[in-house]
Structure 1
Amino acid sequence: MPDNGHLDDEVLKSLPNGVALSWGLGKKSTRGPKGELSIPKIVDAAIRIADEEGLAAVSMNRVASSLGFTTMSLYRYVNSKDDLILLMQNAVCYAPIPPEQPDWREEMRSYVRVCIQVFRDHPWFGDVPITSVPLTPGNLRIVDWGLRSMRDFPLTDYEKMSIVLLLSGYSRSCGMIMRDMDKAIQAGARPETIKGMDYSAALKRLVKRDEYPHFYPVLISGAYTEDNPEDNGVIDDFDFGLERILDGIQVYLDRKGVKA
């Protein structure tokens, strides 16, 4: 967590309290035995609870109890549960960033894969509502990485940020779908059930060509429930979608005469 305690109070007033804490701003508690409790320890404990039991299990009381402190002890460091959740989000964004790749497409692939993995490693992450643009250092670290692949592109800053938003949105969508699949598997579901293969035969009897003229041939081919792997492409659905996004970015660059 950055140490920006030297900044003046006017800067603090412009930021939500949780965001200020994420940047190392704000008053540090001087009460209680030194070193026994800290914001990083509180955040780590909250993340452990959320990872194991979900976001709903996180409360100031629960986190304090897990650390062996009273709830009031936590409030000396973090003002509210909302601030704590924001700090949790910030912390898990410090995922390892791979070394820079010479190919911008591979850079963007790595970006999407790491972002997706955050949702899978921390299933609660996607349950936190988006209420503003990223403001915390961890989140902005990821934005900075997203921009890295376009460092030498002669695009406007608006265009670059729009591409980062496109990749981030796809990462979020795929990450939450994969997270839900992971949960289903952990709860005992079979992969064949999730993919619909267990219901393929029944669907083929229920779905009629005249009622679903465009879906019917896709279902019969086995593509919908993936029960005909020979017709499944070289890459899976998520990679297929990502490659089409990258193709679209390439077309946009070509139209602007950008050599990438």
Structure 2
Amino acid sequence: MQNNEYLDQEQLKGFPNGAKLSWGIVQQSKRGPKGELSIKKIVDAAIAIADKDGLSGVSMSRVAASLGFTTMSLYRYIASKDDLLLLMQDAVCDVPIPPQVAEIDWRASMREYVKVCIAVFCKHPWFGDIPISSVPITPNNLQMVDWMLRSMRDFPLNEYEKMSILLLLSSYSRSSGIIQRDMQRMVQTGGTPDIFSGLSYSKALKQLVKAERFPSLHPLIMSGAYTGENESENTVGDDFDFGLERILDGIEHYLERKQTLKPD
């Protein structure tokens, strides 16, 4: 826990209580059943419920019951469900951060960042169901932001440009993570990857999608590319990897352009 003596409480006004808890700048309750509860225990129990039953399964009363305590006992540690959700988000973002190195392979670092982000969405399917309400403000989330910015340590860019690249990669990670999560959910409920990709509907689409109405889409439908009919012949590789590599190509091109325009 941080020493509150050195914190400007006036500047912390308006800072969400859940975020304060994540930083350890809220005095923890000493009331309750002999200190057997803790914020970590409560958050871990809530994550276990959410992983099994989704966000709809998480309530203060259910979390309390899973730990063998009354709901009121939880409120002595975490004041609201919103605070709990923020703490859950931060907890699952506690991922191993690669050590700093002298020479940075920024493309490899960004690939790893995206891979780790996507894994969070797939391991904790509820993570993407919580709406984004602000920039990251909790410590584990910010640790990931710091890792991403480290990849751009030697970029000849200003802070605005770096933050824009961070947003671009984080947005791609989120959309890719949610798509892969949804595919996992569908398979778990009895669906198949062929349905998700549209392969099961390929023959029907070839009958329904006519060149007169869909002149640009029609060739893709007929070739099988739209529904992944010829995946074995695809030399591009995984769709998500392909998209990420094109983003990285764009960043590289932007860096080269900045260097070209840089005054001598």
Task: Name the TM-score class by shorter chain.
Answer: over 0.9
Deviation at 1:49, TM superposition (A): 0.4
| Amino acid corresponding to residue 27 of structure 1 in structure 2 | Q
- Taking a change above 3 Å as real, the CA distance of residues 8 and 257 of structure 1, as seen in their structure-2 partners, is closer
Output the aligned Cα RMSD. Answer: 1.5
Shift of 1:232: 1.7
1:156 aligns with 2:155: no
Bigger mean CA deviation after superposition, 56-65 or 10-19: 10-19
Residues 72 and 221 from structure 1, CA distance in 2 versus in 1: closer, same or farther, beyond 3 angstroms? Answer: same
Partners of 2:52 and 2:232 lie apart in 1 by: 38
Are the equivalent residues in 2 in contact too, given 1:98–1:110 (CA < 8 A)? no
Change (3 A) 1:100 1:211: farther
Written as runs of structure 1 = structure 2, the 5 A alignment for 1:162-201 is 162-201=164-203
Matched residue, 2:97? 97
TM-score by length of 1: 0.94
SS at match of 1:27: coil
Percentage of identical aligned residues: 65
Q: Displacement, 1:5?
A: 3.9
* Superposed displacement of residue 14, structure 1: 4.0
For residues 36 and 103 of structure 1, what CA distance do their matches in structure 2 show? Answer: 46
Q: Distance in 2 between matches of 1:97 and 1:110?
A: 10
- Contact residue 55 and residue 127 of structure 1 kept, 8 A: yes
Question: Aligned equivalents of 1:143 and 1:240: distance in 2?
Answer: 23
Are the equivalent residues in 1 in contact too, given 2:206–2:222 (CA < 8 A)?
yes
CA contact (8 A) 2:117 2:177 kept: yes
Report the counterpart of residue 84 of structure 2 in structure 1: 84
Matched, 1:140 2:142: yes
Q: Is 1:111 matched with 2:113?
A: yes
Unaligned 5+ runs, structure 1: none
* Alpha carbons 2:29, 2:76 under 8 Å: kept: yes
Task: Give CA-to-partner distance per residue, 1:46-90, whole Å, 9 cap, x none.
Answer: 000001000011110010000000000000000100000000001
Q: Distance in 1 between matches of 2:200 and 2:130?
A: 33
What per-residue deviation string (whole Å, max 9, x for no partner) do you get for residues 202-226 of structure 1? 1111111111111000011110111
1: CA distance between counterparts of 2:212 and 2:148?
46
Q: Which residue of 1 aligns with 2:57?
A: 57
- Per-residue CA deviation, residues 215-256 of structure 1 (Å, 9 max, x unaligned), is 000011110111112442332111111001000000100001
Of stretches 115-124 and 193-202 in structure 1, the one that deviates more from structure 2 is: 193-202
| Distance (Å, rounded) in 2 between the aligned partners of 1:58 and 1:20 | 21
Map of 1:20 onto structure 2? 20
- Kindly tell me: are residues 4 and 124 of structure 1, through their superposed partners in 2, closer, same or farther at Cα, counting changes over 3 Å? farther
Secondary structure in structure 2 of the residue aligned to 1:257: helix
1:153 deviation in Å? 1.4
What CA distance in whole angstroms lies between the structure 2 residues aligned with 1:244 and 1:100? 26
Distance 2:207 2:167 in 1: 42
| TM-aligned CA deviation for residue 11 of structure 1 | 4.3
Q: CA deviation at 1:195?
A: 1.2
State whether residues 223 and 231 of structure 1, in contact with CA within 8 Å, keep that contact through their aligned partners in structure 2.
no
Work out whether residues 148 and 166 of structure 2, in 8 Å CA contact, stay in contact via their aligned partners in 1: yes
Paired residues in the alignment total: 257
Structure 2, unmatched stretches of 5+, are none
Shift of 1:99: 4.3
Moved more, 231-240 or 40-49: 231-240
Q: Which amino acid aligns with 1:209?
A: A
Aligned to 2:259, the other structure's residue is in SS state coil
